[in-house]
Amino acid sequence: MSGLLKGVEKWAIPVRLQQLYKGYKLEDVTIDEIVMPHTFLASLARVSNAVYKTGTVRSHSKAGSPQELELKQGMESSLGNYVFLGRFDAATGMIFETNGPFGAVVATCTLPGQEPDVPLTGHIHPHQPRYRIFVVFRGTSPGKFYWDDISTDLKAGFYNLDNPLGRKSGTLARGFLNTYMSCRGRVASLVNEAGRHLQERFRELAKGFTDRFGGRSFGLRGKLPLEQIELYVVGHSLGGAVATICAYDLAFTATRFVRPVLVTFGSPAVGDIDFAIDFQRMMVQDENRYSPYTGYLRSVRVVAQTAAKDEDIVTKSSVLPNFIHVNSRLSVTTEAANRLKAHSMDSSYIKAIDKLP
């Protein structure tokens, strides 16, 4: 299709009509269908909430800052003992973009007995723990008028940009894409560094195990198989939008690991239908639908709704008229009084997920 026809389609043909002739359907899933235990989903919500503590302005990025210490405490509470934590900055703003703390990459080694779905059975074999990497993006600061965050949200609605990632399908909101591209290299570097720390932890456990049992390997090869490292991309609100783009990108580039699992909370739509279709191919469709290691659904878009079925105000709105969400939506019922309050992590999402069966 020529550029002119594509432009006409993008702006003149309603996205609902495009869904019909392009065969794209929005999908709702249940907590059982995502396979992921609701307790782990709740921990991801708390991780997403904790990353707000990374700060918002450049001075908060300094090593040893109060914001860094508070973030470490928050991650300790949410994830238990982590083996690596690296923060990253990103550019936000309307015209004059500024760099400031925007998220963190965390590596954890969860031993048997530390989680309900990782039971403790006898001596710990080095392959028993869950080795995980979390890429976490913060959203717009709750309860604060932080202009750079708000203006990034607003800039997303001005116009879209061609997708430069993966198979370069479709277009993406300018604000969300610019923010991701400003931290893309740093995120990739931290993911690789987190992987090295998990390898070191595996070697420590392997040495302890073989020392205890007289040097017999019990299937140990001295290296943690990369397909055993779980990779999660998480974010709320603005962070959820950037996390969606990041997960799509990592599905193409982080081929040394198991393909990422994306979990967002209250995320706006980030791109047009052509992007959503290609995202579906990489993250939701056929053999890509579930993680080959955990069996978890690989794309979960958690959306809060009130008792009156009013959806989170951010997820209900599109920054551009012909944008559409990626799959798959998991709706949770919140006690929030209205759509605006339904967007809160503390008083809406976390409480709603905690009550899931």
Strand partners, 171: 162
Please give the structure tokens belonging to residue 101.
């703390």
pLDDT value of residue 190: 97
* Statement: residue 1 has pLDDT above 70: no
- Listing DSSP states for 140-209 in one string gives SPTTS--HHHHHHHHHTTT-EEE--STT--SEEEHHHHHHHHHHHHHHHHHHHHHHHHHHHHHHHHHHHH
Collapsing DSSP to helix, strand or coil, 348 comes out as helix
pLDDT in tens, 253-267: 987 777 899 999 999
Residues 217-230, buried b or exposed e (16+ Cβ, 10 A)? Answer: eeebeeebebeebb
pLDDT value of residue 65: 86
pLDDT value of residue 161: 85
Q: Report the C-alpha gap between 186 and 113 in whole angstroms.
A: 33
Q: Can you identify the CATH homologous superfamily of domain 3-354?
A: Alpha/Beta hydrolase fold, catalytic domain (3.40.50.1820)
pLDDT value of residue 142: 46
Four-residue CA torsion sign, 355, 310, 247, 63: negative
Task: Round the average pLDDT of the chain to a whole number and report it.
Answer: 85
Residues 47-79, buried b or exposed e (16+ Cβ, 10 A)? Answer: bbbbbbbbbbeeebbeeebebbebbbebbeebb
The domain limits of the chain are 3-354
pLDDT in tens, 37-85: 999 999 999 999 888 767 777 778 888 888 888 888 888 777 777 899 9
pLDDT value of residue 147: 45
Collapsing DSSP to helix, strand or coil, 260 comes out as coil
pLDDT value of residue 148: 47
User: Is 132:232 a contact under the CB 8 Å cutoff?
Assistant: yes
Side-chain-facing half-sphere of 159: CA atoms under 13 Å: 3
Would you call 205 exposed, middle or buried from its count of C-beta atoms within 10 A (0-12, 13-18, 19+)? buried
CA of 88: how far to CAs of 60, 63, 142, in Å? 11, 11, 20
DSSP structural state of residue 267 = P
Residue 282's H or E segment, with its range, is helix 273-283
pLDDT value of residue 121: 55
User: Is 68:50 a contact under the CB 8 Å cutoff?
Assistant: no
Q: Which of 52-56, 184-188, 287-291 has the highest mean pLDDT?
A: 184-188
When pLDDT is averaged across residues 219-236 and rounded to a whole number, the result is: 86
Q: Report the C-alpha gap between 83 and 148 in whole angstroms.
A: 32
pLDDT in tens, 149-180: 444 455 445 567 899 999 999 999 888 998 99
pTM of the model: 0.91
pLDDT value of residue 67: 85
pLDDT value of residue 337: 92
